[in-house]
């Protein structure tokens, strides 16, 4: 009988302890609109760094270490390759460029987003070369509280061909 009392007491103590335990914490609610604006702000900061030819800032602050950057079939993977590419791309002294975001969507988890937009660049400013324009998509990931580029891909939009005569 004594064993039964101890068993009942142990059972009740276990049930009571389990009932008093805190419930599992729910994931915090993500403000998707605020995160979308944060991505737009990071994209604007990226543009300013590019215009300032701040290659170290781009590589260390905008891209992830293993980022992938693609433009019309040219694929660059990782910080070292992206750095070398940006040094060449941003070298022309008279070039002008810009981009504008048309849409940002953020995952419910708040740690992944994509940005759509359009761009243009002119490699020689007011020179002979034509302005190139196109569309882009950027996949952003939130790392240590900061939005960083994991993948970017863009393509030039070709002007319409003249009709055959």
Instruction: Tell me whether residue 89 is in a domain.
Output: yes
pLDDT the model gives residue 68: 98
Q: Which of the residues in the chain have pLDDT under 50?
A: 3-16
Burial class (CB in 10 A: 0-12, 13-18, 19+), 154: middle
Question: What's the total number of domains in the chain?
Answer: 1
Residue 75, in any domain of the structure: yes
User: In CATH, what number is assigned to the domain containing residue 77?
Assistant: 3.10.450.50
What is the pLDDT at residue 21?
A: 53
Domain range for 109: 30-156
Q: Model-level pTM greater than 0.75?
A: yes
122 falls within a domain: yes
* Core vs surface per residue 11-36: b (16+ CB within 10 A) or e: eeeeeeeeeeeeeeeeeeeeeeeebb
Q: With the C-alpha atoms ordered 59, 60, 65, 67, is the resulting torsion angle positive or negative?
A: negative
Domain membership of residue 164 (yes or no) is: no
Residue at 16 is within a domain: no
**Contact present, 136 and 118 (Cβ < 8 Å):** yes
Residue 54 lies in a domain: yes
pLDDT attached to residue 70 = 97
Closest CA to 64 of 51, 48, 46, 52: 46
Please enumerate in sequence order all residues whose Cβ is within 8 A of that of 97, keeping only pairs 6 or more positions apart, or say none.
50, 51, 119, 120, 121, 122
pLDDT of 16 reads 44
Structural domain contains residue 152:
yes
Q: Does the residue 15 lie in any domain?
A: no
Q: Each residue of 11-48: pLDDT tens digit?
A: 444 444 555 555 556 767 899 999 999 999 999 999 99
């Amino acid at each position: 009988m004594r064993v039964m009392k101890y068993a009942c007491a142990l059972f009740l103590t276990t049930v009571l302890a389990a009932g008093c335990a805190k419930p599992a914490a729910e994931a915090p609610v993500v403000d998707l609109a605020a995160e979308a604006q944060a991505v737009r702000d990071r994209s604007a900061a990226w543009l300013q760094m590019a215009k300032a030819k701040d290659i170290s800032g781009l590589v260390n602050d905008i891209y992830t270490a293993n980022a992938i950057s693609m433009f019309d079939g040219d694929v660059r993977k990782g910080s070292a390759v992206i750095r070398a590419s940006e040094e060449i791309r941003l070298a022309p002294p008279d070039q002008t460029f810009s981009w504008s975001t048309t849409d940002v969507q953020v995952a419910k988890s708040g740690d992944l987003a994509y940005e759509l937009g359009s761009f243009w660049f002119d490699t020689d400013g007011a020179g002979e070369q034509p302005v190139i324009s196109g569309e882009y998509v950027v996949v952003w990931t939130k790392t240590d509280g900061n939005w960083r580029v994991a993948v970017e891909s863009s393509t030039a939009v070709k002007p319409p061909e003249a009709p055959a005569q």
